Amino acid sequence: MDKYIMSFDAGTTSERAIIFNKNSEIVSVAQKEISQIYPNPGWVEHSPMEIWSAQIGVAVEAMAKAGITADEIEAIGITNQRETTIVWDRNTGLPIYNAIVWQCRRTTEFCDKLEQMKPVIEDDSDLYESKDGTQTMSQWIKRKTGLIIDPYFSATKLKWILDNVECAREKAEKGELLFGTVETWLIWKLTKGKKHVTDYSNASRTMLFNINTLSWDEDICKLFDIPMCMLPTPVSNSEIYGESSPEYLGGSIKICGAAGDQQAALFGQKCFHKGDMKNTYGTGCFLLMNTGDKPTFSKNGLVTTVGWGREGKLTYALEGSVFMGGAIIQWLRDELHMINNAVETEEIAKKVNDTNGCYIVPAFTGLGAPYWKPEAKGIICGLTRGVSRDHIVRAALDAIVYQVNDIVTAMEQDAGCKVSNLKVDGGASNNNYLCRTQADISDTVVIRPSCVETTALGAAYLAGLAVGFWKDEEEIESTSKGFTEFKPSMEQDIRHSRIEGWKKAVDML
Ligand code: ADP
């Protein structure tokens, strides 16, 4: 009997289930969009119950489509939107509030205050520069968690729920509430409450997890007044966590791997070696570089994160994030009604030779690395009567490219070398105009694998390795299929002047 691995890809816009065979080929896919809830300007929420029911629904659908039963699935791997924060009652299994999504900026004010505070407890780790007892809160948090203070990460979202939902902190202190990011929630639901775990990569995005010791940081939990009993147990990215309860998928299946979507994509892109780099063009954009078995701390506004832990070995990564990636295309479609679908943006952008001087800086939810301007709002500039819809659509795609390029440049500075190539994936990487422009503006070869579902593939690899479905990373590398290469061809002076124009636009924020 042929065996398969099933990935759950719990993304920001949809839940997906993808079944892979041993050759890393997709056998079946099912997908369902989830509701985006915007209760206030800058606030973004999801329904945790919708996430769960949509995820199980697509899993059943993917299995049915391919005629695959539970006993043919060797393992489930989970990958998910990271940082998104869920708190639920361990007895009823019901969330006490909607999931606060990574994009949500409701804790901006608190983060600003936090930055002005001084850490009460100093430590003398020599991992970070400041050792003279005068470190700022940002440095203190960064050396422990690898992250910068920003509403994006889970800690302040969790604190917000505990501060704002009636009796929440009291219940949490009594051990009645559990916290989890989306993978934790799904594993808890799948195992019917038997397993409350988080993998290292997801844990490292909470701003509560010490990436040097691989444990929850007591000092930081105290700072945020978060009862540690509500936190899940941190586990590696590739091991048997538990089994799905048999009623959901027509039999129990081992759950053996989990990773945050970007780390999963880094693994799925086979960036197994130090210096390997990838960018995912999804709702947001995420550039990650494998930095080997020690954390590297950035001088250019990038964050340090756990890539994965497997067989007792850790791989760290440097990461830069763009909040509005493909989401700007959704905005053109849903709010401006300028396009009918995302795919047609490629043809529209190609109808014109440039943007006619128009730039869009899509700081809708603040601007991420390397600027970190949480309060910035988006702008469209350079408008003249000659700017048409086609120019604006092209400027929207270019905005994605420029933001990614800013991060490539920051990584080059941190790594002290020029990037030789950039592996790409995610929904918007299907856009050839986007990939070609990225190659031009970043002056590097852009490589797009034929299977752009690398996030799901990474989760499948992590789960498959845990049960011996694939022996090791070498065997995975040998399953590599085709890819498309985009080589840079733009003249340097045009490239420089376009980047210059972008920088001027960012300065207007
Ligand atoms: P996520 O995992 O964050 O939900 P996906 O990887 O599914 O995101 O990518 C979806 C995003 O990519 C959407 O924001 C969509 O607007 C954009 N997108 C999808 N296809 C294209 C395309 N051909 N050109 C440009 N943008 C696209």
Ligand 1 proximity of 327 Cβ (cutoff 6 Å): yes
Q: Residue 182 above 80 pLDDT?
A: yes
Highest mean pLDDT among 25-34, 119-128, 369-378: 25-34
Q: Could you report the per-residue pLDDT of 208-234, keeping only the tens digit for each?
A: 999 999 999 999 999 999 999 999 999
Q: Computed over its alpha carbons, how large is the radius of gyration of the chain?
A: 22
What is the distance between the alpha carbons of residues 239 and 245, in angstroms, rounded to a whole number? Answer: 18
* Ligand 1 neighbourhood includes 300 CB (under 6 angstroms): no
Question: How far is Cα 190 from Cα 184, in angstroms, rounded to an integer?
Answer: 10
- Tens-digit pLDDT profile for residues 193-209: 999 999 999 999 999 99
Q: Please report which confidence band the pLDDT of residue 456 belongs to, taking 50, 70 and 90 as the band edges.
A: very high
342 CA distance to ligand 1 middle (Å):
7
Q: Please tell me if the CB atom of residue 309 comes closer than 6 angstroms to any atom of ligand 1.
A: no
pLDDT of residue 275: 80
Is residue 31 exposed (0-12), middle (13-18) or buried (19+ Cβ within 10 Å)? Answer: middle
CA atoms of 488 and 10, how far apart (whole Å): 34
The response to whether residue 283 sits with its C-beta less than 6 Å from ligand 1 reads yes
Ligand 1 atom with the shortest distance to the CA of 284:
3
CB of 151 closer than 6 angstroms to any ligand 1 atom: no
pLDDT at 126: 44
Residue 123 has what pLDDT?
A: 58
The Å distance, Cα 428 to ligand 1 centre, comes to 4
CA of 328 to the centre of ligand 1 (A): 9
CA end-to-end distance (rounded Å), the chain? 59
Mean pLDDT calculated for residue range 315-344 = 94
Segment 411-440 mean pLDDT: 89
Ligand 1 centroid from CA 24, angstroms: 22
> Measured in angstroms, how far is the CA atom of residue 35 from the centroid of ligand 1?
16
- 130-137 average pLDDT score: 66
Answer whether 202's CB lies under 8 Å from 183's CB.
yes
12 lines ligand 1 (CB under 6 A): yes
Atom 25, ligand 1: which residue's CA is nearest?
428
Q: Could you tell me if the CB of 430 is within 6 A of ligand 1?
A: yes
Structure tokens, 106? 């409701």
Averaged pLDDT, 155-173: 96
Residue 144's pLDDT is 92
Q: Are 15 and 186 in contact (CB under 8 A)?
A: no
Residues contacting residue 68 through CB under 8 Å, at least 6 positions apart: 4, 19, 27, 28
At 35, the pLDDT band (50, 70, 90 cuts) reads: very high
Q: What pLDDT sits at residue 506?
A: 96
Contact 419, 303 (CB under 8 A): no
Check whether 497 has a pLDDT greater than 90.
yes
Encode pLDDT of 72-126 as tens digits: 999 999 999 999 999 999 999 999 999 999 989 999 999 999 988 888 765 555 4
